[in-house]
């Protein structure tokens, strides 16, 4: 019995790593010799706040936007490296138990001040809480960006009582 559990643990760990994608590169590196750790898939830069008024009769929504750079495999499928902005908020508590569904239209205007390159990324989203993800492909250099969130309630039609908020940030690509 001891022999089976000693085999099951590594197999279970390998299956979990393969299913989640976590550690798959590290496992491959260890098998190749283990001398070097795999480079990270992305690098956390900072978190910025981009709070918004709530389109439902409820308090303001706190929104955190995590900024990642050196993203090797961006979620949009285009070649990296890239910068990813991932916004999230807790499930807002409204006057009613299940407040509803939000419709979001997020626009990110970015400017690579090193190269002069500019771009715009638009992200439509619909969810029970404020959440969205934008991928920027600015090339190497210092990148400034402005996030404009348009958040509305989904009440039979999208974007009822839209609320607009803007915030700014920067990262090195």
Q: 3 — phi, psi (to 5°)?
A: -60, -45
> Which residue matches tokens 């390998």?
14
Q: Kindly state the tokens that stand for 22.
A: 């976590």
Classified as helix, coil or strand, 30 is helix
Decide if 71 contacts 60 (C-beta within 8 A).
no
**Cα(148)–Cα(163) distance, rounded to whole angstroms?**
10
Classified as helix, coil or strand, 3 is helix
Quick one: pLDDT at residue 32? Answer: 47
pLDDT band at 97 (very low <50, low <70, confident <90, very high): low
Residue 11, exposed/middle/buried by CB under 10 A (0-12, 13-18, 19+)?
Answer: exposed
Global confidence as pTM: 0.75
3-31: average pLDDT? 41
Cβ neighbours around 10 below 10 Å, total: 9
Over residues 110-164, the pLDDT tens digits come to 999 999 999 999 999 999 999 999 999 999 999 999 999 999 999 888 899 999 9
Over residues 66-85, the pLDDT tens digits come to 999 999 999 999 998 899 99
**Cα(22)–Cα(8) distance, rounded to whole angstroms?**
19
CATH class of 40-172: mainly beta
| Domain range summary for the chain, segments of one domain joined by + | 1-38, 40-172
> Which residue matches tokens 């090193």?
114
């Amino acid at each position: 019995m001891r022999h089976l559990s000693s085999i099951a643990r590594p197999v279970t760990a390998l299956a979990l790593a393969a299913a989640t994608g976590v550690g798959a590169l590290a496992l491959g590196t260890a098998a190749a010799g283990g001398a070097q750790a795999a480079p990270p898939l992305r690098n956390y830069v900072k978190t910025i706040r981009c709070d918004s008024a709530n389109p439902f009769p409820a308090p303001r929504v706190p929104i955190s936007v995590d900024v990642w750079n050196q993203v090797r495999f961006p979620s949009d499928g285009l070649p990296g490296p890239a910068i990813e902005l991932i916004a999230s908020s807790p499930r807002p508590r409204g006057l009613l138990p299940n407040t509803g569904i939000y419709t979001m239209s997020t626009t990110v205007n970015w400017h690579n001040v090193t190269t002069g390159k500019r771009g715009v990324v638009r992200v439509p989203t619909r969810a029970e809480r404020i959440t969205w993800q934008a991928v920027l492909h600015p090339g190497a250099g210092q990148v400034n960006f402005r996030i404009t969130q348009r958040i509305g309630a989904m009440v039979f039609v999208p974007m009822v009582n839209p609320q607009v908020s803007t915030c700014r940030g920067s990262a090195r690509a």
